[in-house]
Amino acid sequence: MKKREHFTSRAGFIISCIGAAVGLGNIWMFPYRLGQNGGAVFLIPYFIFVLLLGSTGLIAEFAFGRASQGGSLTGIKRAFEKKGKKGGILLGVIPAVGLAGVFMFYNVVVGWIIKYFTLSVT
């Protein structure tokens, strides 16, 4: 078995998790959502739900990964195998479909960036 890479510090791991969880879409949409949903009053339920739902998903993903001594997808695949179900075979399709959706979104954003950059230069 080949040796796996590890994070060199706990801070690097935490920053990596935050970067993966937040994403650019959340940063871009947050000011709009804040203005549309009541300003500062929106912040309290927003942070409560982000902490409750986000921490639950993160803990579950860590538990699957740690139990399988691999990534979270490996853990979920092994859970399917333990139950004798064949759904674990299709797990490789889920990230591919998700990435295709993300790439389609970012292609539009990059198109806007190029358009407005050229308009500002000319």
Structure confidence by residue, pLDDT tens digits, 24-50: 677 778 788 888 888 888 888 888 888
CB 41 within 8 A of CB 35: no
121: which 2 tokens? 């230069």
CB 76 within 8 A of CB 85: no
85: which 2 tokens? 């179900």
DSSP assignment of 11-41: HHHHHHHHHHHHHHHHHHHHHHHHHHTTTHH
Q: What is the mean pLDDT of the chain?
A: 79
> pTM for the complete prediction?
0.43
| Amino acid 120: pLDDT | 93
